[in-house]
Copies of this chain bind each other. A is one copy, B any other.
Amino acid sequence: METIEQVLESKNIRITAMRMLIYKFLVEKEVAVTLSDIENAFEKADRTTLYRTIKTFEEKDIVHQIDDGTGITKYALCEKDCNCEIETDLHLHFHCTNCNKTICLTENKIPKITVPDGFISENVNLVVKGICDKCSG
């Protein structure tokens, strides 16, 4: 099991208290989080710092951004050794219209999508909306 320090180090990010806390927060959350979620969890910290921390994480492929159609950007931890930028690696995202949670379905990969002649597909974003397992039970 890798420690948080090891994760950050392996991605060439300086280890700071703030970054460790935010990383830990993301690990503990099983769903995608908004910037406001993080903000609420760390009232003491400045919003900008949180924003830039998550942006740094994004650049370094520690988290990936999710646009679930709510208009608010969400973030979730990448899988270990994921290649976010490679199309075939991408998984589905599920947005529950009942509890408003957004979940990475990492086991469910996006099927091969064909586009018309002349179009070049580089990336696919797929969001399923509906009722999550917690809410449907």
Contacts and interface: CB of A to CB of B under 8 A. Distances in A.
Contact of A125 (B126, B134, B137): B126
Interface in A47-98: 67, 69, 71, 73, 92, 94, 97
A118 B130 contact: no
A119 B115 contact: no
Interface in A106-136: 107-108, 111, 113-134, 136
B92 A115 contact: yes
A67 B129 CA distance: 13
A107 B114 CA distance: 11
Interface residues of A, number: 35
A105 interface: yes
A124 B110 CA distance: 12
Contact of A120 (B71, B107, B131): B131
B111 A132 contact: no
B125 A119 contact: no
A122 B97 contact: yes
A67 B66 CA distance: 12
